Structure 1
Amino acid sequence: MNHSICVSGAADGESVDSSCGLAYEVGVHIAKSGHVLTTGATVGVPMYAAKGAADAGGVSIGFSPAASLRSHVKKYRLPIGFYNYINFTGMNYIGRDIHLVMSSDAVITVGGRMGSLHEFATAIEAHMPCGVLLGSGGLADYLPKLLEEMGELGRQAKGLVYFDTDPERLVKKIVEVLDEQNKDIKLDGIKEDWAVKASICEPLAGKYGFVSGKTTGHAG
C-alpha cells in the first residue's frame, strides 16, 4: 500500500548543518520503498528530503504556507524544485503545519526547531506514528528527554514514537507500522467498490472493469 510520509525539520539553523545529509537519505528511502514524501515545501531539511526523493525517482508533495505560486516564491521566498506537486494552502506557517501533518500518514522528525515541535505534537494528538531520527540534532535529539519529563503523558505518547539512528531502518519501521495499521484495507477495492452497486452505475460497471455487488456499503 502507498503511504504519505512527512519529513519534518528546520528550515535553517544548526540542525540543518548536522542533518541535511540524513534528511536526504530519508527522502531516498521513502521513495525507494514506493511511498510518497510530504514536506512543508520550504528550504533546509525538508528541501534536502525532497531532493533525495526526487533523485531516487519518487513522488514528493510540498505544502506551502502561501496561497499562490507567486506568493510562495516572491513573498515567502521558498523553492519550487524537487516537487511533483505543491499544495498552496494559504494558511501561513502555523496552518500549513497542521494541513501538512493531517494530509500525511506518519511524520519523521529530522533535526528541527519550534515548527517541527508543532508538527510532532499535532501528529501525536492525531494518534499518528512518528519516527525520530536520533543523531540529527535539534528537536530530534531532545525528544527522548522531553517525553521522559512529561511523565504519564510522555509514556502514552511514546507508544506512537519510533526512534532510530539510521535513516533506512527508521523508514522501514514506519512503513511496517503503517502496513500493519492498514492491513484490513483491500488494495483492489477500486474494482469492487460499493458505489458501483448503485443502479446508475450498473450499466457501466462491466464496461469500465468494475465488479459490482461484491462488497457492502451505503451511500452517505
Structure 2
Amino acid sequence: MIRILLVDDQEVVRAGLRSLIATDAGLTVVGECADGDEVVEQVERSTPDVVVMDVRMKRVDGATATAHLRAIDGPPVLVLTTFDDDDTLAAALRAGAAGFVLKSAPGEDILRAIAAVAAGDAWIDPHVAGRVLDAFRDQTPREPIDLSALTERELDVLKVIGRGLNNREAAAELFVSEATLKTHLSRVLTKLELRDRSAAIVFAHDNHIR
C-alpha cells in the first residue's frame, strides 16, 4: 500500500485527488495539507511514501516545501503543475522534485505518476517534458563529458533511463532484477555527479546517449 500526503491550498483539488486515489486499491491518502508550511510536520506525523504537491500556495510554495523535505531526507515529491508554471517549475526542479504531472492529466496518468515516484522512478509528464529539460539546462553548468568511469552495464543503464523507462521496464529490457538496476543507477549517479534520476534523464538526452 502506497501512503500519500496531499498538499494543495484548494479543497476542491484535494477532494478530487482523494476520489481518484480511492479508485486504486494500492494507494491510500494518509494526510492532507492546505499550505506548504504544514508539510514537514505532517510528513513526520503520517509518514507517507510520496507527497503530491501543488507548486502555487499562499504562504509557502511547493518548491520551498520540497526543499525542506529534502533537508530532512523526506519522501519523494510529485509536483502538480499547469501549463503556465514555468518559473515555479524551474524552482521545483532546483528543490529536487522527483516528478511533474499536469493537474489536467487523465486520472490514470496521475495514478501511474504517484506509483512511479513512490517506487523511486522519475515521472515527467510528456506535455511539460520540454520545459523540464530546458529548466535543467538553464540551471546546470556545462562540464566536459567523461563516460570512461562507467562500466558497460552502467552505460546500458544510463541509456535506458535516458529513454524514460521506469525501473521495472528498464530491468526487463536489460534482463536484470530491479534491485540490480537500482544499484547500477546509484553508481551512475555517483560517478557522473548527478543529483538524481531526473538529472540522469537530462544528461542522457543532452549528450545523445541512447
TM-score tier, shorter chain, comes to 0.3 to 0.5
Q: Which has the higher contact order (CA 8 A, sep 6+)?
A: 1
TM-score (norm 2): 0.42
